[in-house]
Amino acid sequence: MTSTSASGQGAEYAATASEAYQAALRVIESVEPRVADATRKELADQRDSLKLIASENYASPAVLLTMGTWFSDKYAEGTVGHRFYAACQNVDTVEALATEHARELFGAPYAYAQPHSGIDANLVAYWAILATKVEAPGLAELGAKHVNDLSEADWEKLRAKLGNQRLLGMSLDTGGHLTHGFRPNISGKMFHQRQYGTNPETGFIDYDAVAAAAREFKPLVLVAGYSAYPRRINFAKMREIADEVGATLMVDMAHFAGLVAGKVFTGDEDPVPHAHVTTTTTHKSLRGPRGGLVLATEEFAPAVDKGCPMVLGGPLSHVMAAKAVALAEARQPEFRTYAQAVADNAQALADGFVKRDAGLVTGGTDNHLVLLDVTSFGLTGRQAESALLDSGIVTNRNAIPADPNGAWYTSGIRFGSPALTTRGFGTDEFDRVAELVVEVLSNTQPAAGPNGPSKAKYTIADGVAERVHAAASELLDANPLYPGLTL
């Protein structure tokens, strides 16, 4: 086992995990063998590809096995010690453990482990902010202490207040997320929204421009965080901007939570001490199950605790149990080694692209992701993504600032270092990955469709995909996924 691996804890661990998975698959096979076959094939496919999707990782066998338990059978609406179903004492235990680990890991006064995803976590956060900053004062203005005291006319007034709030978030094409106020998303419909971008010359966030937009727009919520911005954020500056205009600072750290947990991001770059509310997923760089968390100051804790029934239905108890296991793993010293390696490897990948004259948004990275502008290769993002997949390299196309090809075809490819770092890749291997990517893209050409030029069709020079796939397999064989685990 490498110092960065979540794949096991030695031969005995791997042997025990193998026995568990073999037994589980035999049971599944007895009912629906096609599902068992697809499960085995999924592991084989993941073992045989360079996974460079920034939002994906590999959870440990302990985390994965935790999700396949009897907790899946439980309904547990409510909160710890205050459920609307009987016999939830064991759910209370695992949820309390998940929130305890989250508080200790991130240094947060309050944590909520029930969101099913990052989007759910953001919705809980938004409504908690509305309930705390608008609904509670609105009730007082209407002479009511509780919503049950409101008449229908009062409700109309309160709904108007709740529905006429403002949100300022990072634009999608400069690295923000759908849930940061993108108009077609529910977040762009809940709020009057405006979006800030990046400096068109450097690609970096311009804090003076954000401050100017906040002074003019006066948002209730200022959202910081990203899904495709390859740089760090100064959250102390974002909090100063929020405080100046009376906004609530909400940070979505879903992508870089592992770098916060692993103390790669500290001080002004650690969002938790500066944000009123912080949301995250528990997979991605945090290397846990698919799910979400909300961290908050005590001011917002009562409203966040009402995530169910406000936004959520029954919490997924088996996933909360897996969150507890993953967060316990992240509290170990080895996780800090892993997190630093994630950042170092992303830097090596970026440097590998730069020295091979491949254009990068912002010219590099200082987090876990790299955004490659593929227009220099004469390709769209979709063509590049497909050509790389043919060559055994799994990525995702992504828009770049002012993207001429829009959000579907795009002009960029997003790369992330967390998954291959989990496999044990180091800086030399990531430089080699950059070399393989450039080899594929340099030998890929757009192809015409039936009606002329196509943004999707492409051709790869003979033998290139096979040669690169073989080279990728050499790297993968030297850094096996879940070593010792056999199905």
pLDDT in tens, 333-381: 999 999 999 999 999 999 999 999 999 999 999 999 999 999 999 999 9
- CA-to-CA distance for 186 and 183, rounded, in angstroms? 8
Burial class of 244 by CB neighbour count within 10 A (0 to 12, 13 to 18, 19+): exposed
Do 456 and 409 form a contact (C-beta atoms < 8 A)?
yes
pLDDT at 162 over 50: yes
- CA-to-CA distance for 272 and 269, rounded, in angstroms? 9
Q: What is the pLDDT of residue 97?
A: 98
Give residue 5's pLDDT band: very low, low, confident or very high (50, 70, 90): low
Across the chain, what does the average pLDDT equal?
94
Which pLDDT tens digit goes with each residue over 267-286?
999 999 999 999 999 999 99
What percentage of the chain reaches a pLDDT higher than 70?
98
CA 115 to chain centre: 13
Which pLDDT tens digit goes with each residue over 250-271?
999 999 999 999 999 999 999 9
Which pLDDT tens digit goes with each residue over 424-452?
999 999 999 999 999 999 999 999 888 88
Do 132 and 221 form a contact (C-beta atoms < 8 A)?
no
- CA-to-CA distance for 187 and 75, rounded, in angstroms? 28
Please list, in sequence order, all residues whose beta carbon lies within 8 angstroms of the beta carbon of residue 30, skipping any fewer than 6 positions away: none
Angle between the N-to-C axes of helices 89-106 and 317-330, in degrees from 0 to 180, rounded to the nearest 10 = 30
Do 272 and 295 form a contact (C-beta atoms < 8 A)?
yes
Neighbouring-strand partners of residue 373: 412
Instruction: Choose among 66, 117, 103: nearest CA to 292.
Output: 117
Number of helices (H) and strands (E), helices first, in the chain?
Answer: 20, 16
Burial class of 236 by CB neighbour count within 10 A (0 to 12, 13 to 18, 19+): middle
- Residue ranges in 267-316 assigned as alpha helix (H): 301-304, 307-310
What are the residue numbers of the active site?
75, 77, 252, 281, 284, 290
Neighbouring-strand partners of residue 221: 167, 248
Angle between the N-to-C axes of helices 207-217 and 235-245, in degrees from 0 to 180, rounded to the nearest 10 = 20
Q: What is the DSSP letter of 131?
A: I
Domain(s) labelled CATH 3.40.640.10 in the chain stretch across 72-330
Domain(s) labelled CATH 3.90.1150.10 in the chain stretch across 336-478
Q: What is the dihedral of CA 35, 40, 42, 44, to 10 degrees?
A: -160
Give residue 163's pLDDT band: very low, low, confident or very high (50, 70, 90): confident
- CA-to-CA distance for 103 and 301, rounded, in angstroms? 13
Do 304 and 277 form a contact (C-beta atoms < 8 A)?
yes
Instruction: Choose among 352, 387, 413: nearest CA to 465.
Output: 387
Neighbouring-strand partners of residue 416: 369
- CA-to-CA distance for 239 and 405, rounded, in angstroms? 34
CA 69 to chain centre: 25
Residue 309 preceded by cis peptide, ω within 30: yes
What's the residue count for the chain?
487
Look at residue 201 and give its three-state secondary structure: coil
DSSP conformation letters of 13-79 = HHHHHHHHHHHHHHHHHHH-HHHHHHHHHHHHHHHTSEE--TT-----HHHHHHTSSGGGG----EE
Q: Give the global pTM.
A: 0.94
Instruction: Choose among 419, 360, 390: nearest CA to 53.
Output: 419
Q: What is the pLDDT of residue 160?
A: 77
CA distances from 178 to 160, 182, 188, 226, 413 (A): 24, 5, 9, 10, 18
Query: Is CATH 3.40.640.10 what the domain over 72-330 is classified as, yes or no?
Result: yes
- CA-to-CA distance for 465 and 471, rounded, in angstroms? 10
Query: Is CATH 3.90.1150.10 what the domain over 336-478 is classified as, yes or no?
Result: yes
Which pLDDT tens digit goes with each residue over 55-97?
999 999 999 999 999 999 999 999 999 999 999 999 999 999 9
- CA-to-CA distance for 93 and 320, rounded, in angstroms? 10
Which pLDDT tens digit goes with each residue over 197-213?
999 999 999 999 999 99
- Ranges 168-172, 190-194, 211-215: which has the least confidence: 190-194
- CA-to-CA distance for 91 and 69, rounded, in angstroms? 12
